[in-house]
Chain A
Amino acid sequence: MHKPALRGRQGPWGWLFVSPSVLVLGLFLALPIVMALWVSLLDWNGQSNPFTGGQATFVGLDNYRGLLTEDGLDRTLFATSLRNNAYYVLLFVPLSTGLGLTLAMIVNQRMLRGRSLLRTTFYFPSVTSTIAVSTIFLFLFQGSGAVNSLLSWIGVKGPNWFADPRGIVWVTLGNLGLADPNHPSGFLTDHGFMGLSWFEWLSGPSVAMSTMILLATWTTSGTFMLIFLAALQDIPRELEEAAALDGVNRRQLLRHVTLPALRPVLFLVLTLALIGSWQVFDMVYVMGQGAPGNTTLTPAFMSYQSAFKNADYGQGAAIAFILFAIVLACTGAQRWLLRERNPRQGRRR
């Protein structure tokens, strides 16, 4: 046939069609990564051109060492940011996934009135900009704001949310009388890891950080709801009817039919939540820029701060690459789990 001739004509066209994309993605995604890798090995203040020599000095792995192994302020700050973000992950991932699944199940009820209105309601926060909803939350969670007025109705005196650096673990233990946050045990304060005492590591997210976790859960649960909803509607009805004939109750149906069918999507949502939660930036910028007491500082924001506020671009780039490694490790771990449990679902990539 004349196929080879056709193919010959398609070659240049193919490249012509992809060339704008290759150009933009190459120049603004691939090239930057290579450049930043080089900058992360420099001591550079952002003034001169780092690629022609000039004032930038090649310092090898010093930026990475300063963050990970050498005792100093930088390492303590970086460890603090890792702690903050780790607690964020620990709370945000299960909360948003669980809430997303719950909302999807509610909206998927066949006999429920106003389902599409509910779906719209739950999803709407997800389409608005983080900056705009952060502004709303700053207002709602002021010391004398709407949330605290609401709490005072039931006799609770709310904290000064965004200005409260206390870790919630010690606050809770202190209120229960199990520990005294003001006089922690010597072992916890004297020993530590990466320049941060165990007392600090174990403090849990600060009240301010917890408020940000609430905001993130509120804005993300709608997206996860839609993903779960699509999967719920793909469960064959015959499967549920067969189970109903066997006389199962609601809880058994959920446990033995619905949840197993949702497993691949559950893993997908968990990955999305995990990757997203290591990238918290917009919220931090609006809601405190690390304050109070560096308890809302995340690695992503610290990377920005090092470069654009403290003019230490080498350190900023190094943090970005450590963050990249963390995200890759999380994705890798998740993909490995997915492959273990669903051998046939493995993606060809």
Chain B
Amino acid sequence: MTPTTPVEPDTRAPRPPRTTRRPRRARAAERPVLGRTRLPWRIAGYTLIIALASLYVLPFVIQLATSFKTDPDAAANPLALWPGTPTAAAYQRLFGIAESHETVPFLRWLGNSALVTVLVTAGRVLFDSMAGYALARLRFPGRRLLFVLLLAVMAVPGVVLLIPKFLVLSTFGMFDTYAGMVIPLLVDAAGIFIMKQFFESVPREVEEAARIDGAGVFRIYWSVVLPMARPALITLTILSFQGSWNEFTHFLVSTQSAEYETLTTGLARFVAGGLGSGTQYPLKLAAAALSTIPVAILFFCFQRYFIRGANAGSVKE
């Protein structure tokens, strides 16, 4: 039943716990297939790798350093990794501690982002897993057709839907409301797909046993199947959190008032349009840094699940 995909998402039934944190294969075969390279080559290799890695790290380091600089300092020493006169002025302005005529409603952005993210994540985890379970396990007329439609919907590129989404939202009177921001994101096709694949890998015997004990469909789903689905649910939660926290285009076309701006739309308008009032890079970079922190924390705590998610997302096309 499962479509053969080059990369199977790693959201299958729980595996026996690993004894070390290394990937299995690496532990089974610590020794490289070919012998070690010679020392000079190894030194050259490490140098190259460190250079490459700093390309990935330095932009963030410069961002953090600059956010603690003054405007003139940021303009004069853009490369300095330590601020000349460290100041938290940018952060104070963002949080409204320091009075300033030129500031941004950062706390409102933060509140909107948090609200939308929590609602969307909760909705996706519940609805995606319900739909995924039904498509994997329940027999009902139209199931096959629904699955084909799901795959078709997944193939529609997001940017094609910018204007269409606006049309529907304004027709329903949901344009520029929280409902219009949240409801269209409550379900995502890729999430349903991930959950369906997971439920198909769960042995049927457990459900059969519960059924013989007289449990109904909903009870089996809620108290038998869902608890077993923990790894897949965590993956889905993280993907949804990251997706809705970083969502930009949907909020751009579903709202217009400043009161509904999120971290992404607010920051984007500020950065794209704020050229008239000086560059204010410390302020912009501080806002960008703060908006990255929640996802960064999540990433460093649950890296394993991000990695699963990246590979699960790859089946989505």
Q: Does A87 count as interface, using CB distance less than 8 angstroms?
A: no
Chain B contact residues, majority secondary structure: helix
Closest Cβ–Cβ distance, residue A74 to chain B (whole Å): 16
Interchain CA distance A326-B23 in the complex, whole Å: 40
Q: Cβ of B217 and Cβ of A35 under 8 Å apart? A: no
Chain A contact residues, majority secondary structure: helix
Q: Cβ of A268 and Cβ of B6 under 8 Å apart? A: yes
Closest Cβ–Cβ distance, residue A329 to chain B (whole Å): 12
Given the known inter-chain contacts A11-B139, A111-B32, A150-B79, please indicate yes or no for A139 contacting B306, CB distance below 8 A: no
Given the known inter-chain contacts A121-B56, A227-B7, please indicate yes or no for A303 contacting B63, CB distance below 8 A: no
Which stretch from B83-91, B94-102, B152-160 is at the chain A interface? B152-160
Q: Of the candidates B164, B291, B300, which one forms a contact with A129 in the assembled complex, judged by CB atoms under 8 Å apart?
A: B291
Which stretch from A76-84, A181-189, A315-323 is at the chain B interface? A315-323
Q: Closest residue of chain B to A148, judged by CB?
A: B78
Interchain CA distance A328-B154 in the complex, whole Å: 12
Q: Cβ of A129 and Cβ of B157 under 8 Å apart? A: no
Interchain CA distance A21-B186 in the complex, whole Å: 8
Interchain CA distance A144-B76 in the complex, whole Å: 8
Given the known inter-chain contacts A10-B139, A21-B192, A233-B25, please indicate yes or no for A139 contacting B268, CB distance below 8 A: no
Contacts of B281 in A (CB 8 A): 139
Q: Cβ of A136 and Cβ of B165 under 8 Å apart? A: no
Closest Cβ–Cβ distance, residue B52 to chain A (whole Å): 8
Q: Cβ of A233 and Cβ of B288 under 8 Å apart? A: no
Contacts of B210 in A (CB 8 A): none
Contacts of A31 in B (CB 8 A): 168
**Residues 231-251 of chain B: 1 if any A CB is under 8 Å from the residue's CB, otherwise 0?**
000000000001001101100
Q: Does A202 count as interface, using CB distance less than 8 angstroms?
A: no
Interchain CA distance A149-B77 in the complex, whole Å: 9
Interchain CA distance A275-B154 in the complex, whole Å: 12
**Residues 263-303 of chain A: 1 if any B CB is under 8 Å from the residue's CB, otherwise 0?**
01101110110010011011001110100000000001001
Closest Cβ–Cβ distance, residue B213 to chain A (whole Å): 14
**Residues 130-145 of chain B: 1 if any A CB is under 8 Å from the residue's CB, otherwise 0?**
1101110011111100
Contacts of A14 in B (CB 8 A): 134, 138-140, 143
Q: Cβ of B78 and Cβ of A129 under 8 Å apart? A: no
Q: Does B43 count as interface, using CB distance less than 8 angstroms?
A: no
Q: Does A66 count as interface, using CB distance less than 8 angstroms?
A: no
Interchain CA distance A331-B211 in the complex, whole Å: 43
Taking CB atoms and an 8 Å cut-off, the chain B residues in 138-183 that contact chain A are 138-143, 146, 149-151, 153, 155-168, 171, 183
Interchain CA distance A275-B313 in the complex, whole Å: 14
Given the known inter-chain contacts A18-B146, A20-B127, A139-B284, please indicate yes or no for A127 contacting B34, CB distance below 8 A: no
Q: Cβ of B246 and Cβ of A128 under 8 Å apart? A: yes
Interchain CA distance A30-B161 in the complex, whole Å: 10
Q: Closest residue of chain B to A106, judged by CB?
A: B49
Q: Cβ of B187 and Cβ of A110 under 8 Å apart? A: no
Q: Of the candidates B7, B29, B31, B289, which one forms a contact with A268 in the assembled complex, judged by CB atoms under 8 Å apart?
A: B7
Q: Does A88 count as interface, using CB distance less than 8 angstroms?
A: no
Closest Cβ–Cβ distance, residue A165 to chain B (whole Å): 17
Q: Does A231 count as interface, using CB distance less than 8 angstroms?
A: yes
Q: Cβ of B306 and Cβ of A35 under 8 Å apart? A: no
Q: Cβ of A121 and Cβ of B138 under 8 Å apart? A: no
Q: Of the candidates B133, B143, B183, B272, which one forms a contact with A28 in the assembled complex, judged by CB atoms under 8 Å apart?
A: B183
Q: Cβ of B217 and Cβ of A10 under 8 Å apart? A: yes
Which stretch from A89-97, A169-177, A236-244 is at the chain B interface? A236-244
Q: Cβ of B192 and Cβ of A231 under 8 Å apart? A: no
Interchain CA distance A50-B163 in the complex, whole Å: 13
Taking CB atoms and an 8 Å cut-off, the chain A residues in 14-48 that contact chain B are 14-15, 17-18, 20-22, 24-25, 27-33, 35-36, 39
Given the known inter-chain contacts A17-B130, A120-B303, A264-B6, please indicate yes or no for A39 contacting B184, CB distance below 8 A: no
Q: Cβ of B151 and Cβ of A21 under 8 Å apart? A: no
Closest Cβ–Cβ distance, residue B151 to chain A (whole Å): 6
Taking CB atoms and an 8 Å cut-off, the chain A residues in 117-145 that contact chain B are 118, 120-140, 142, 144-145
Listed A/B pairs (11) with beta-carbon separation below 8 Å: A18-B134, A120-B300, A121-B57, A146-B62, A237-B25, A250-B34, A268-B6, A268-B314, A313-B167, A317-B164, A320-B161
Q: Told that A17-B134, A320-B162 touch, could you supply 10 new A-B pairs with CB distance under 8 A? A: A17-B130, A17-B131, A33-B161, A49-B171, A137-B59, A139-B285, A237-B28, A253-B34, A345-B4, A348-B4
5 shortest interchain CB distances as A-B pairs? A14-B140, A32-B164, A17-B134, A129-B246, A36-B164
